[in-house]
Amino acid sequence: MFNGGSTLSITKADGNRAQLAIVNTVISPAIGGLTTFFFKKYIVRGDLLKIRYDFMGLCNGVLAGLVAITASCDSVEPWAAIIIGVLSSFVYSFSVKILESLEIDDPIEASQVHGCCGLFGCLCVAIFKRDEGIVYWADGCWKLLGIQCLGIVCIMAWAIICTTIFYLVARRLGMVRIGQKAEILGGDIYYFGPMEFDASVNVNGIEIEMAQKKNRADENEIMEEEEVDEEGEEEEA
């Protein structure tokens, strides 16, 4: 397990930390995945209510639990890992709903899993840390919460600054957005060609849908070319 390996040792005190980290890193994602599997569709609603088994939600729920427990994996009790797993599931599910309502496009829900659950995990250190967290009402627990909040602000500032620089450079180079034809057809198909399917998949239906998408993309491309030609004629006139 990656969290247990971070101790770089399994002897003496490091061994105890590694054991606890591994146990918590198993518990939290397991609980997070199960909670998401059963409750996400009732939180997000929409098309998810039509799906009997939301396996994407299950996988992302597991990731949400992993992300949320990582900051505190060696400093909380297993019972706290259970609570963190449950709460991370709801943090993930509600963040999915919020970003969708804001029409922010994140098809694989990486922002919700790694961003929202990661920030939540930082707060969990101050809440559940053994003998020092808020749940123990220990001396200095609120100071620890302030330290974690400061860390969150620093992380967000670093991410925003680096992302902004990358975005501005990419925008300057024309790399921010793919063409309209690629958007309609789908980036995977446009750049890498048709996907392979086994005999159990309805290949004909998929091929028909792909052909329809391609026709729409071609029509839009023709319309764009006609608009450009019309603008050129007007300028000449």
Q: Give average pLDDT by consecutive 10-residue segment, the chain, 237 residues.
A: 72 80 95 93 75 84 96 95 97 93 87 95 96 93 96 96 95 84 74 59 54 65 62 59
Looking at the structure, tell me whether residues 33 and 101 fall in a common domain: yes
* Predicted local confidence at residue 95, as pLDDT: 94
Looking at the structure, tell me whether residues 16 and 111 fall in a common domain: yes
Q: How far apart are CA 144 and CA 158, in angstroms?
A: 21
* Predicted local confidence at residue 199, as pLDDT: 46
* Predicted local confidence at residue 75, as pLDDT: 93
Looking at the structure, tell me whether residues 134 and 188 fall in a common domain: no
Domain-ending residue, one of 156, 172, 188: 172
Side-chain half-sphere CA neighbours of 192 within 13 A: 5
Q: How far apart are CA 47 and CA 56, in angstroms?
A: 13
Domain of 163: which CATH number? 1.10.3430.10
For the stretch 147-170, pLDDT in tens is 999 999 999 999 999 999 999 999
Q: Is 83 exposed, middle or buried (0-12, 13-18, 19+ CB in 10 A)?
A: middle
Looking at the structure, tell me whether residues 101 and 43 fall in a common domain: yes
Looking at the structure, tell me whether residues 163 and 185 fall in a common domain: no
CA 168 to chain centre: 23
* Predicted local confidence at residue 205, as pLDDT: 55
pTM: 0.75
DSSP-derived secondary structure letter, 50: G
Looking at the structure, tell me whether residues 134 and 60 fall in a common domain: yes
Looking at the structure, tell me whether residues 122 and 189 fall in a common domain: no
* Predicted local confidence at residue 234, as pLDDT: 60
Angle between helix 141-172 and helix 117-128 axes, rounded to 10 deg? 170
Looking at the structure, tell me whether residues 138 and 231 fall in a common domain: no
Domain-ending residue, one of 172, 195, 215: 172
* Predicted local confidence at residue 116, as pLDDT: 95
For residues 199, 203, 205 and 211, what is the CA-based torsion angle, rounded to 10 degrees? 180
DSSP-derived secondary structure letter, 11: S
Q: How far apart are CA 218 and CA 180, in angstroms?
A: 10
For the stretch 43-57, pLDDT in tens is 887 766 666 778 888
Looking at the structure, tell me whether residues 96 and 128 fall in a common domain: yes
* Predicted local confidence at residue 177, as pLDDT: 81
Looking at the structure, tell me whether residues 24 and 76 fall in a common domain: yes
Looking at the structure, tell me whether residues 120 and 33 fall in a common domain: yes
* Predicted local confidence at residue 175, as pLDDT: 84
Domain-ending residue, one of 172, 200, 219: 172
* Predicted local confidence at residue 203, as pLDDT: 47
Side-chain half-sphere CA neighbours of 111 within 13 A: 13
Range of the domain at 211: 180-236
* Predicted local confidence at residue 157, as pLDDT: 97
Count of structural domains within the chain: 2
Looking at the structure, tell me whether residues 157 and 231 fall in a common domain: no
Q: How far apart are CA 109 and CA 70, in angstroms?
A: 19
Is 61 in contact with 33 (CB distance < 8 Å)?
Answer: yes
Q: How far apart are CA 108 and CA 99, in angstroms?
A: 12
Query: Which among 110, 59, 116, 58 has a CA at the least distance from the CA of 87?
Result: 116
* Predicted local confidence at residue 231, as pLDDT: 61
* Predicted local confidence at residue 152, as pLDDT: 96
